[in-house]
Every structure is written in C-alpha cells, then in structure tokens.
Amino acid sequence: MLMNRLCRFTAGLVLTLVSVTVSAQYLQTTMTATESPGSDADTLVVLVPSGSTQLALPGWSQATIDQVNRALAARDFDGSARQQVEILAPAGLSADRLIAVGVGAPDELTRHVAEEIGAALSVHINGSKAAVIEADTRLITDPARNTSIATAVAHGIELRNYRFDRLKSNPDARPSQSYRWVVISQTAAEQQYAMLSAVAQGVFTARELTNLPGGSGHPAAFAEYARDQLTPLGVEVTILGPEQVEAAGMGSLLGVSKGSQHKAHLLVAQWRGSNEPPIALVGKGNTFDTGGYDLKTGASILQMQGDKAGGAAVVGAIKALAAQQVQINVIAVVPLSQNSISGEAMLPGDVLTAGDGTTIEVTSTDAEGRLILADGIWYTRDRFQPRVIVDIATLTGAKTTALGSELSAVFSEHADLVATMRQAGELTNELVWQLPLGPYPGIIDSRIADIKNTGSPGAQAGAIFLQHFAGDTPWLHIDMASQALASSARGIHPEGGTGHGVRLLTEWVKIYAAQ
C-alpha cells in the first residue's frame, strides 16, 4: 500500500507487500523513507562508513563541517562499526542534536551487526527528548548496501523498542518517535523494509505468546491468539480440541495435560504459497511446566511460561512468511499442553500410547516436551507428508550445559538440513551447533514399553526420542533451551520473551526451498 511514494512502513501498522493491513499494537515508533532531507527534525542521525576523511552532507555550511568534525575528532570517531557520538546544538543546523553512527566498511557489515547498531541507537534516542529523527544514509554510496544497511538498522530499532505491557494497569510510555530515513532509493528501501517488517511482526507475535503467563496463555488461549494473528494474512488455521486430540489417538500429547483443567490442543497453520509438498515446522507448546510429579523447585519455575517458546517461534515464522507472500508451502504445527499436578495427572512410571502406536514409559514427568512433540511430529508426517520436518523446543537443561545460551543445538542425519540451518543462523545471529545423534545404543530402551522418555546424555536422548516419530521423513531438531527469555535487555531484545527462532526459521525456510 504505497502512499504517493512516501510510504509509511510502520511495523505493527502497515505492511506494504500484503493485500491486507496487518494491525497489532506492538510499537508506537514510525518509519518513513524519502530521497530528500527535510527541515523539521529535532535530531539528525548520520550513518558514517569507516575511512571517511571528513563528515559533511550537502547543504552544510563550512562552520557546521568544522564544528562537527572537530567534535568527532575529540572523541576519536573514525566510523568503525558500533561507534556513536552525539553533538548537541550543531552549528548551522536546525536539529537540536546530531548523532554520528559508525557502520564500518559497508561491504563487510553483516545484517545482524547493523540490527544491533539500530538497537543501540534506539536505547540512546529513548534516553533523550528526541521526537522526530532524520537518519541520513547517503554517505553509504553503494545503492544496494545503502538499502540493506538502512533497513537493517531500522529493523534493529523496532526489535528493541517492543514492550510487553498489556498486563500493567499504568504502563510506562512506550518509545514514540518518528524516523525519516534519507536513502538513495526510496522504492528499494520501502520494499526491503516491508520484508523485514514482516519478520518483526512474527518476532513480536512470538514474544507476546512467550510472555503470556501460564494462567492466561493456556493451550486454548494460545491457539486462539495464533488464529487471530494468522487468518488475516490468508493462513489456514485448524485447532483440534481435547476430544479431537483423543479421537486422533494422540495419547502422548493428551497425557501431559491430564492433570490440568486446560487440556491438550493441537494447532495447525498452513500457508499455501505453492503446490509443492510442504515444509513443516513443529514447535513445542507446553504453556506452563510445573514438572508434574517430578516437580520443579526454586526460581526456575517462575520462567516456565517460556516453555511454549518453540511453539511461539513457528507461529511467528509462518506469520512472517505469509506476510512476505513467499511462494512456498509451509505448515506450522504446535502441540499444546499444560503440565500440572492433580489427582488425574500422569505419574512417573505410567505408559502412554502415541498416535503411531508407540508405547512410552514416562520415566520423568518433567521430560514432557518430547511427549507432546512426539504426537505433533507424527501427526504432521501422517497427515501432510511433508518434504522435511524441523522441530524446535526449549527441551533440555543438558543443552544449556553443553552450549550455554548463545547457541542452539541441532541434531540431524541430513547434512543439507544442518548446512542450510547453519547458514540461516549466521545470517540472523541465531547461531546453531550440531551435536551427534549417536552412537548411543539403547539410550531410550524401556523394560516395560517400546521406549522411555529419558536417557543419558540428556540432549541426545531427547533428540533420539523425537527422531523415532519422524520416521523416514528428513528431519532436524533444534534445542533452544535457555534462549526463550532474556533476564535483562540486551542487543535487539528487551527484557522478557526474545522471539528466538522466528528469524532463524523464516530465513531457513527460504534458503532450503531455494535449493
């Protein structure tokens, strides 16, 4: 939806590449693109490449050039990536402040570093009284790099400016500025930004779902929120309630929610961008995890609303892909449960029967994520015959012990899946590291059932358990434990839900489909 070639590409308000207006009250920051600078900004931001001998823009007086460059020299500013220097009351300019932002060598600046530069700029701007910001990018003279860097910086600003404040009676004011980006090609910037804005929408949706407390973000509420977000974009959404889950034979999914008043659901969302066999994304949607009778204790239980972050990631990814109008057939499946304790809850030692007939000994009620994913993966394989299945989950503490919170673990016997996922991770800085699936003979063998839901090493046991239900379909598992929630704001993430996995999966789907 272009508006006289000065398109407002506002995240949360307008996406220019879809046929409907996508509304969500995530941000109050607005972005516009133009090829001509204005005169009404109170703040001027200049993106400066390294190697610039003197900072100057068309129309600047010599007095302005002299003052600005003297101030920058005093701060040893040389345009290196991530440098940021503010100059108050710049001589000869109508703006109250000028902020020089270093972007390094434009042909070497990666997308994720540009996004982090934008996030840092947003923190600085939010600490000031700036209201109208003009960001001049014309010193980046290569047209393609000008577009990609400007839009990535803007994307980073918006990712950082998100706030989850819907449950506060008197929330703090959200960042509320108007950014005007002076670029070489307005049309190219609008088009590229629309694609990134679609990704931001997916990230925000995933953050909302992850942040919802267990009491209000239960299986039915998760599914309905996802439906509301996806159907306006043309995504086909089906929600299976508890009776339908039971009728389909998904006893493993059903068993996890037996102890809760909020019973199991299954969310299926399909974007039919092509008639090719679908690419399937399956996300763990355990909306709150008490651990069941293997009860979690201590402070960790306060973060267990984050156990639905894998499901949130696949919902966010399919939202982004639909908003981008990709010509790819994609399915997102989220098995939804709430792992609680009551007289009806599953017990350690119980045996569940999954949809494919596999019997499972529950050796830990706190290893519930693989139980619900088992039926989610089986259902996806059985009903849709996808060309590939990728599942994502906050699955094991063992993954965090092995890799910490900077890397997700991936498991697969398919080298092309690992290679393309690693490529997507490097593009988005949602990095992955492959861990082995074997040899671990007998790791999930059970004395009384076909398999059990625990084993050692823990991350491998979870992955091998899930591999069983993927059958012959090419499959990859992502363990994103400890990456769902940020304890404090950092980089592109505010405190709380990160939306981790949305950007990774969105890019991976496109990379994999293009092979």
Residues known to be catalytic: 296, 370
Taking the chain, what is the end-to-end CA distance rounded to the nearest angstrom? 31
DSSP H or E stretch at residue 100:
strand 97-104
Nearest alpha carbon to residue 335 among 286, 280, 397, 290:
286
Using CA atoms, how far residue 489 sits from 17, 310, 393, in Å, is 31, 20, 22
Radius of gyration from C-alpha coordinates of the chain: 24
- Does residue 441 have a cis peptide bond before it, meaning omega lies within 30 degrees of 0? no
Neighbours of 377 (CB within 10 A): 29
Give the containing element (helix H, strand E) for 244: helix 242-247
- Identify whether the C-beta of residue 370 lies closer than 8 Å to the C-beta of residue 362: no
| Six-digit token string for 50 | 């390294």
Q: What is the four-CA torsion angle of 75, 76, 81, 82, rounded to 10 degrees? A: -20
> What is the amino acid identity at position 425?
G
Q: How far apart are CA 135 and CA 133, in angstroms?
A: 6
CA pair distance 507, 420, nearest whole angstrom: 9
Q: Which 8-state DSSP code applies to residue 492?
A: T
Q: DSSP letter string over 69-95?
A: HHHHHHTT----TT-EEEEES-TT-SS
How far apart (Å, rounded) are the C-alpha atoms in residues 126 and 452?
51
Respond yes or no on whether the N-terminal peptide bond of residue 242 is cis (omega within 30° of 0): no
Q: Cα–Cα distances in Å, from 13 out to 129, 233, 265, 304, 365?
A: 24, 14, 30, 31, 43
Query: 């499946």: which residue's tokens?
Result: 333
The answer to whether the beta carbons of residues 132 and 40 sit under 8 Å apart is yes
State the Cα–Cα distance between residues 209 and 212, nearest whole angstrom.
Answer: 5
**How far is 208 from 380, CA to CA, in rounded Å?**
25
161 close to 127: Cβ distance less than 8 angstroms: no
Cβ neighbors of 356 (< 8 A, separation 6 or more) are 378, 382, 469
Residue 445 is classified by DSSP as: B
Q: Name the one residue in this structure whose structure tokens are 């590291």.
A: 433
- CB neighbours of 472 closer than 8 A, spacing ≥ 6? none
